[in-house]
A and B are shown apart, each in its own frame.
Chain A
Amino acid sequence: TQLLEQSPQFLSIQEGENLTVYCNSSSVFSSLQWYRQEPGEGPVLLVTVVTGGEVKKLKRLTFQFGDARKDSSLHITAAQPGDTGLYLCAGGSDMRFGAGTRLTVKP
């Protein structure tokens, strides 16, 4: 079983600040996915990273896949209250999830 550890588990910041959340594993993944989930809803796919060292940008969100394909990070620039939610990484053929980072952005 490939385990994913996410950090931090909770993050509360002010609007306009930058933040980075991490997804780490001791295993190599062929790909990793990042999702955002709002209360009472299913997770929504944000991005899939496939190539070691890959960087993908989605507006103010920047996703990076580690060179060794064991870790990934999500950086949010100038966070907004609308970014509030549970951020999850997932990977492996059986699509297991990390514990998630619960982000709160205060206006």
Chain B
Amino acid sequence: GAVVSQHPSRVICKSGTSVKIECRSLDFQATTMFWYRQFPKQSLMLMATSNEGSKATYEQGVEKDKFLINHASLTLSTLTVTSAHPEDSSFYICSARTPFTGVEIYEQYFGPGTRLTVT
């Protein structure tokens, strides 16, 4: 399957600082990427949909000024957690959607996730 990378895999930051997480599709161009958040033993919660060259669409309850998303190219989307607080500590996962082929509907491949700990 397609490969999606995330960097960093783990990050610890102090409260009040900002953290940037990168998501890259390595072997295909992704016009759409998604950012999820996952709490322990729970499913993935969609935070926002990122479309290349346009503003991200945020889910209800997700603060767009706190979670800045930039999808500057067809292979890279970034999530910046601004003014991080301990409650932002979580597992953040990105995914990239393959282009529509007209045969199989979209498929989505996930990055390995980023464990953010805010102290």
Contact = CB atoms under 8 A, between A and B. Distances in A.
Interface of A: 30-31, 33, 35, 40-45, 48, 50, 86, 88, 90, 93-100, 102
B106 A31 contact: yes
Given A41-B113, A42-B112, A43-B93, A48 B107 contact: yes
A43 B97 contact: no
B104 A31 contact: yes
Interface in B36-74: 36, 41-44, 46, 49
Contact of A45 (B6, B36, B43, B109): B109
B34 A95 contact: yes
A50 to B, nearest CB: 6
Contacts of B46: 94-97
A40 B93 CA distance: 10
Contacts, number: 60
Given A31-B104, A42-B113, A95-B95, 18 more contacts: A31-B106, A40-B91, A40-B113, A42-B6, A42-B95, A42-B112, A43-B93, A43-B110, A45-B108, A48-B105, A86-B43, A88-B43, A94-B46, A94-B49, A95-B106, A97-B36, A97-B46, A100-B43
29 contacts: A31-B105, A35-B110, A40-B91, A41-B112, A42-B93, A42-B95, A42-B110, A42-B111, A44-B110, A45-B1, A45-B107, A45-B108, A45-B109, A45-B110, A48-B107, A50-B105, A86-B43, A88-B43, A94-B34, A95-B34, A95-B46, A95-B97, A95-B108, A97-B36, A97-B44, A97-B46, A99-B42, A100-B42, A102-B41
B77 to A, nearest CB: 14
B interface secondary structure, majority: strand
A38 to B, nearest CB: 10
Given A41-B113, A42-B112, A88 B44 contact: yes
Contacts of B107: 33, 45, 48
A30 B113 contact: no
B56 to A, nearest CB: 12
